[in-house]
Amino acid sequence: MRKRAESKEETRQRIVEATMQLHEEVGPRATTISAIADRAGVQRLTVYRHFPDETAVFKACTSHWLELNPPPDPADWSDMEAPLERVRTAVAAFYGYYAKTRRMWSVSFRDVEDVPALQEPMADVAEFVTTVADDLTKAFGPDGAEPRTRATIRHILQFPTWSELDDQGLDQAAKLDLVMAWISGARDLSEENDVRRAGKLNSVAQ
């Protein structure tokens, strides 16, 4: 019974790894149950014995891939007191991660609208990135509540933003310098608006 259980688990793992390989090579949209079975060296029925539907096998694939490629850990920068240093460290971690895992993220973003089974895992990833961005924004204190700062930080942490900058030939240092300039610009604009509002109030008072 133990050998049977081990064999069953080995087969399941082969199916998950086959799915992961196909996702990265051809994309989720082109990954069929038949293709998974062929890559894993099993029958289609065997795939369905382990996973009732495409959603189940895709979820298992996503979980396994994330175990092998864990996203950056916010604990790595949470103790930094300077907000800008914290943001730069976080962005550097995310951009380094995207550089190592570009192929999988590229096909996942490309196919997500056409593959319902992929939408929940991708939504979870988006929620994680948004949570990280909002935590970074809070480090600025009251200034972090300014919509431009929050929107800028959320934007720069996204994979499509990194991918676009990478397509234009920017290296890691250039990407970081540019996006940090975006944040500084957003904060400067907020301060300018505060000064203007204060000026208007003083004029009205006079």
Q: Is residue 69 part of a domain?
A: no
Query: What single-letter amino acid sits at 119?
Result: Q
Same domain, 94 and 180: yes
Give yes or no for a contact between 21 and 43, defined as CB atoms under 8 angstroms apart.
no
Same domain, 8 and 98: no
Buried b vs exposed e over 81-115: b needs ≥16 C-beta within 10 Å? Answer: eebeebbbbbbbbbbebbeebeebbbbbbebbeeb
pLDDT for 197: 46
Which structural domain range is residue 129 located in?
74-205
Same domain, 100 and 53: no
Give yes or no for a contact between 28 and 108, defined as CB atoms under 8 angstroms apart.
yes
pLDDT for 201: 44
Q: Which two tokens stand for residue 136?
A: 């970074």
Kindly report the CATH number assigned to the domain that includes residue 20.
1.10.10.60
Q: Is residue 132 part of a domain?
A: yes
pLDDT for 198: 45
Q: Is residue 80 part of a domain?
A: yes
Same domain, 36 and 84: no
Q: Is residue 123 part of a domain?
A: yes
pTM of the model: 0.85
Encode the chain (206 residues) as per-residue pLDDT tens digits.
555 656 788 999 999 999 999 999 999 999 999 999 999 999 999 999 999 998 899 989 999 999 999 999 999 999 999 999 999 999 999 999 999 999 999 999 999 999 998 898 899 999 999 999 999 999 888 766 678 889 999 999 999 999 999 999 999 999 999 999 999 898 877 655 544 544 444 554 45
pLDDT for 140: 86
Give yes or no for a contact between 180 and 155, defined as CB atoms under 8 angstroms apart.
no
Same domain, 145 and 172: yes
Domains held by the chain: number: 2
User: Cα(120)–Cα(1) distance, rounded to whole angstroms?
Assistant: 35
